[in-house]
Amino acid sequence: MSETSDNHELSGHVYDGIQEYDNPTPGWWNWLFFATAVHSLFYFIYFHSGVSGRGVIDQYERANAANLRQQFSEIGELQGTRAEMIKFYQDTKWLDVGKVVYQANCITCHAPDGGGLQGPNLTDDAYKNVKQIEDLAKVVADGANNGAMPAWRTRLHPNEVVLVACYVASLRGTSPAQPKEAEGNVIPPWPTSLEESPEDGQDSSETTTPDVSSETPESSNEGAIENGAAGDGTAEAGAGDGAAEGSTEETTNSEPPLVAPGGGGE
């Protein structure tokens, strides 16, 4: 190889006696590098601008929630009863599903942390349309305030309705960044066990009929004696009234006795 061709192929840089060939990177590689640099700007704006639901963690939570939805068969179709609400608002596994549903549908009105925007603050103790924990599921399903809170019954799976209501219940007592002023009436804390609530599956609006068959014989006899005494008193009063009426009637209707002429008698 000639010296000219060698000089043409060498870069002219010598490092400790080592010469470097002049082999520039291909043009397509340079364009790919520039395109990657430009793309990184849009990537940073989309994923790291602080918008909820776009981060890698959010993607993981959505994937995990999608996997849990496939496991709905193990919990059946939820109805939003008091017992279900108490159970699942304390179950971190299923709250992940409720959290994803909340982030996808509720943050525009209630904020990502539940502090409230157009909608009310979900982290304080005051509620406008909720008195019992099961009312949360009813509000989510049927809406409230003449459509200001939309009904999600026809848009979500029944289990998603209940689980997002449970997630909302779990937000109570947290500390949002910019909490909205409280609205509505302060209600008691959520129950943490069924011992603090009606029997499993029983709606709080239903009244419980006492079981008279569970009374002891002594209490039944005492009730019978008391009822009998009351009946005797009533009978005595009735007898007294009847006697008084009879006496009055006799006095009113009685006539003077007939006396035979001459004062004689039989």
- Map out the domains of the chain with their CATH numbers: 3-47 (no CATH), 62-196 (1.10.760.10)
Per the CB < 8 A criterion, the answer to whether 197 and 191 are in contact is yes
Q: How far is CA 107 from CA 111, 146, 205, 250, in A?
A: 4, 20, 31, 89
Q: What is the DSSP letter of 144?
A: B
Give the pLDDT band of residue 94 (cuts 50, 70, 90): very high
Q: How far is CA 250 from its chain centroid?
A: 76
The neighbour count for residue 117, using CB atoms within 10 Å, is: 14
- According to DSSP H, which parts of 70-123 are helical? 82-88, 92-105, 107-110
Percent of the chain with pLDDT over 70: 70
Question: If you search the block for the tokens 């993981």, which residue do you land on?
Answer: 60
CA distance linking residue 110 with residue 122, whole number of Å: 7
CA distance linking residue 105 with residue 108, whole number of Å: 7
Give the pLDDT band of residue 265 (cuts 50, 70, 90): very low
Q: What is the pLDDT of residue 8?
A: 58
pLDDT of 213 > 50? The answer is: no
State mean pLDDT over 133-156.
93
Strand partners, 186: 126
pLDDT of 236 > 90? The answer is: no
